[in-house]
Structure 1
Amino acid sequence: MTRIDAKFAELKAAGKKAFVSYVMAGDPDYQTSLDIVRGLPSAGVDIIELGLPFTDPMADGPTIQLAGQRALDGGMTLQKTLDLAREFRKGDTTTPIVLMGYYNPIYSRGVDKFLVDAKDAGIDGLIVVDLPPEEDAELCIPAQAAGLNFIRLATPTTDDKRLPRVMQNTSGFVYYVSITGITGAAEAEAADVAPEVARIQKAGGLPVIVGFGVNTPDKARSIASVADGTVVGSAIVSRIAAGDSVPDVLAFVKTLSDGAHSA
């Protein structure tokens, strides 16, 4: 059982929905990013999504694109991202970390080396948005053999014919992208999300976490009420971009987690 599996079991036993937060590793700089990540569990975050900076983030809107660019400009690398996770693990051995990004940096490092290093750094799962199920042998299956969950995205365009293929080697949870488009582009609506979540849950039996378009405590509550939890990224990253202090960022995150947990 991974930390992700254990967390969902714990939440289910408590009758709670999950709150997942996304931050870009190294934004606005390594130390500030580490301070924010360290504070997320106390702000009510159940699972941390740690963005891996990349030069061509095709699924991300301007907010997260710019965060990645700030991190890269500050010298952030895959190695430093793993270093950040390792530093976090010195004080927290239970909160799951999902590394979210693109395949190129992993491929450049070498899959076998990356998986050993990621596991050693305390990473629990991967979301690699540009590796479809047809490429499972590339990273998904080796990752699961190494003890890492491989989390797949499902979208409003994932029809009943495609869904079984998407679910085939997915583990941990399914990330449902609530809108068509890029991160931060529109708001998710619970009435639209609910039937899709039920369809995905039935197909795979895994928890379904809804992201993209969740940006307020009320929205976090409404989306979590029809899913197994919700994830917020761009709204948090926007606060970091605006220069909010670490305590202010974490206070905002707490309002979001309170919303999700009240669903």
Structure 2
Amino acid sequence: MTHATTTPSGQPLGISHKPSPCRQLFAEFKADDKPAFIGYLPYGFPNPEVSLTAFKTLVDNGVDIVEIGLPYSDPVMDGPVIQAASQIALNNGEKIAGVFKAVETVANAGGVPLIMSYWNLIYHYGVERFAADFANAGGAGLITPDLIPDEAGEWIEASDRHGLDRIFLVSPDSSDERLKIVAKNARGFVYAASRMGVTGEQATLSSSPEQLVARTRAAGAENVCVGIGVSTPEQGRTVGQYADGVIVGSALVHTMLDEHGHALADPGAGLTLLAERATALAEGIHNARK
């Protein structure tokens, strides 16, 4: 007698019982009453080889969770700094298959590797194929800025099969009902965008992120991390007083670009600046509640 190994839709059966890597990390950090530092860089910038060194540099200098960005030709949520870096990666022939080397690099360095990607890239790669390859490389979860839970059925199934975290976004304009839907379907943490609009460094932050974190927790989210606009140790310290994690992207990417938005001619100098910026931010974020 044979047993079915797929659903009627052709999807493999089975659900992974592997614990959430992000949830485990946040539990440890909560025990120490400190927030996590989440750092973003696009894969393939300034080239694939140097980007792998850059991801390891982040972990070695205080980043706990690494967002590995998948460069995309139409990055509707990204500001000019990340757009410039992503375009450099695309010009260098960056391919989605190569990003799993970055995942392995972060995992081997002791960090928690996430991928941040627009859904179109995952869809065309193949949702099940992506989930399997990502999990096999040691990946922890996926951040999907343009995918809402209501339309994420295939990803929810695939991530459950492979034990991957699902990080959905909320914003200050999200209704209480929307926050409940996100909190119910998220795994690992909820990404709270500090403001509406694209990513980028900000001189000041408003009070809306703190209010959004409180509302998202009230909606049922266990862990809420704040990103978009955090660029200095002082801002990281402020956000870290109320958020479970502080997300920094543009400020880290910026260290490896010149004033014209081109990659620094000396990658080694860029990596040194990246290490210095990460160390300073880690100091501010990890000591936010002391």
How would you bin the TM-score normalised by the shorter chain?
over 0.9
| Matching of residue 142 in structure 1 with residue 167 in structure 2 | no
Partner of 2:55: 37
Partner of 1:240: 256
Distance in 2 between residues matched to 1:19 and 1:88, nearest whole Å: 14
Alignment of 1:1-263 (within 5 A): 1-89=19-107, 91-92=108-109, 94-184=110-200, 186=202, 189=205, 191-242=207-258, 243=264, 244-263=269-288
Distance in 2 between residues matched to 1:122 and 1:145, nearest whole Å: 15
Structure 1, unaligned stretches of length 5 or more? none
Structure 1 segments (4+ residues) deviating >6 Å = none
Distance in 2 between residues matched to 1:216 and 1:88, nearest whole Å: 23
Distance in 1 between residues matched to 2:244 and 2:205, nearest whole Å: 15
**Number of aligned positions between the proteins:** 261
Distance in 1 between residues matched to 2:224 and 2:121, nearest whole Å: 27
TM-score (norm 1): 0.94
Would the aligned equivalents of 2:183 and 2:221 in 1 still touch at CA under 8 Å? no
- The higher radius of gyration belongs to 2
Distance in 1 between residues matched to 2:106 and 2:154, nearest whole Å: 28
Distance in 1 between residues matched to 2:200 and 2:221, nearest whole Å: 28
Matching residue's letter, 2:236: A
Note the C-alpha offset of 1:187: 5.0
Q: Per the alignment, do residues 31 and 73 of structure 1 end up closer, same or farther by CA in structure 2, a change over 3 Å counting?
A: same
TM-score (norm 2): 0.86
Note the C-alpha offset of 1:15: 1.4
Would the aligned equivalents of 2:103 and 2:114 in 1 still touch at CA under 8 Å? no
Distance in 2 between residues matched to 1:162 and 1:248, nearest whole Å: 39
Matching residue's letter, 1:77: K
**SS in structure 2 of the partner of residue 168 of structure 1:** helix
Distance in 1 between residues matched to 2:202 and 2:40, nearest whole Å: 17
Note the C-alpha offset of 1:191: 2.7
Structure 2, unaligned stretches of length 5 or more? 1-18, 259-263
Distance in 2 between residues matched to 1:224 and 1:131, nearest whole Å: 26
Distance in 2 between residues matched to 1:150 and 1:225, nearest whole Å: 24
Note the C-alpha offset of 1:186: 4.1
* 1:53-90 deviations in Å (ceiling 9; x for gaps): 1111111111111111111111111111112222443x
**SS in structure 2 of the partner of residue 182 of structure 1:** coil
**SS in structure 1 of the partner of residue 255 of structure 2:** helix
Structure 1 vs Structure 2 CA RMSD: 1.5
Calculate percent identity across the aligned residue pairs.
37
Note the C-alpha offset of 1:185: 6.3
Would the aligned equivalents of 1:171 and 1:206 in 2 still touch at CA under 8 Å? no
